[in-house]
């Protein structure tokens, strides 16, 4: 199979879909890998590094799409990239379609088969290709929130950990999954007063044992959450419904009652965000203010630490990419139901039910 990897074009996105090591593994399996020139330049990987493992360097994204059968990316294709996709293409990347109808319709129009990293599952129901970026985003949320809390950034002027004689910041994390747990770990490490809201009793029990009482866990009811948010200095939204739009758990009215200069970081923004006032931002302009409250809603948070993120992502995606290349997508998905769960678009149809429901589009099961 000819596997193509274009340079990412989202604002301040420096990750790359294939590292030289990943490309080498695909080549060792008998495949051809073509890379757009400078695809890895943002994290210090040169064209020569790719050529050294046997890749072919291509001058433009258009040429990569023209020659490749399988396209491996990091972020969802922008509309001009969707226009380069054809029915014979297999696209393997993050999609986050439930919050993006224009992209969904463009992928449907292309006729391609699109497998989303974020809906591939594991035996225990977890999302193995989303997990590494959830870990990164969770940890980054506290760094970003701490910076936004500084007065020069428009925040309250609060140090997360406080100092002797001055209380630490109150941090509320909504969702105790991979992102939320990593956010809590960073916040506790900085000495903050941390409360995690969740509805999974087993997960709360696990968090209590993991943090040995240094994190408070609270069952998430609307009333309890609203009261905690109003008192918080930093709120991290880390809610996930696999493949579907995130629920709006902090209303505009609740946020309005927060302390002036308090900060909300919305990790769920890729899936539409879990705060009512959320709207996607970029690393170029990461924050905005509504009712004296600062919102950080960058839609590709891990892109800011692109080196770490690229290698963490490739560690997870490579085994699936090899399966898809070796067997073709139909056979690979027949052999692995978890990989089949990643098929979001196929033959002009939406093939992931939650996406179809959220976007009010027809649903049709993938034809394997």
| Residues annotated as catalytic (active site), given as ranges | 96, 270
CB within 8 A of 295, min separation 6: which ones?
Answer: 263, 264, 266, 275, 277, 278, 279, 281, 287, 288, 289
Pair type for strands 343-346 and 113-116 = antiparallel
CA distances from residue 250 to 156, 172, 274 in whole angstroms, order as listed: 20, 12, 7
Residue carrying the six token digits 């905005």: 288
DSSP state of 330: H
Cα gap 225→62, rounded to integer Å: 48
* Other beta carbons within 10 Å of 102: 9
Q: What is the 3-state secondary structure (H, E, C) of 264-321?
A: EEEHHHHHCCCECCCCCECCCCCEEEECCEEEECECCHHHHHHHHHHHHHHHHHHHHH
């Amino acid at each position: 199979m000819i596997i193509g990897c274009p340079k990412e074009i989202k604002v301040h996105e420096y990750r790359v879909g294939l590292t030289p090591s990943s490309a080498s593994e695909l080549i060792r399996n008998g495949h051809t890998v073509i890379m757009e020139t400078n695809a890895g330049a943002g994290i210090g990987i040169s064209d020569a590094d790719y050529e050294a493992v046997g890749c072919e360097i291509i001058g433009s994204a258009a040429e990569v799409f023209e020659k490749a059968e399988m396209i491996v990316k990091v972020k969802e294709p922008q509309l001009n990239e969707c226009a380069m996709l054809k029915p014979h293409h297999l696209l393997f990347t993050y999609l986050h379609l439930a919050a993006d109808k224009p992209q969904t319709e463009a992928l449907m129009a292309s006729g391609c088969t699109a497998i989303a990293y974020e809906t591939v599952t594991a035996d225990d129901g977890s999302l193995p290709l989303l997990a590494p970026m959830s870990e990164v985003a969770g940890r980054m949320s506290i760094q970003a929130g701490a910076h936004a809390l500084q007065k020069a950034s428009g925040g309250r002027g609060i140090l997360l950990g406080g100092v002797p004689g001055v209380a630490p910041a109150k941090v509320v994390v909504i969702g105790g999954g991979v992102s939320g747990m990593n956010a809590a770990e960073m916040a506790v490490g900085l000495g903050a007063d941390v409360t995690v809201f969740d509805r999974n009793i087993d997960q709360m029990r696990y968090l209590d044992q993991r943090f040995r009482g240094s994190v408070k866990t609270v069952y998430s009811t609307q009333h309890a959450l609203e009261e905690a948010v109003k008192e918080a200095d930093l709120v991290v939204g880390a809610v996930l419904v696999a493949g579907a739009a995130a629920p709006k758990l902090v209303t505009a009215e609740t946020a309005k009652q927060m302390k002036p200069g308090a900060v909300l970081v919305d990790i769920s923004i890729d899936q539409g965000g879990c705060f009512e006032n959320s709207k996607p931002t970029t690393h170029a302009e990461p924050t905005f203010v509504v009712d004296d409250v600062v919102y950080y809603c960058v839609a590709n948070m891990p892109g800011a630490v692109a080196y770490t993120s690229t290698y963490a992502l490739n560690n997870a995606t490579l085994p699936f990419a090899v399966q898809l290349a070796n067997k073709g997508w139909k056979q690979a998905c027949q052999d692995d139901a978890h990989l089949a769960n990643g098929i979001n678009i196929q033959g002009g149809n939406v093939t992931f039910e939650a996406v179809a429901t959220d976007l009010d589009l027809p649903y049709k099961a993938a034809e394997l």
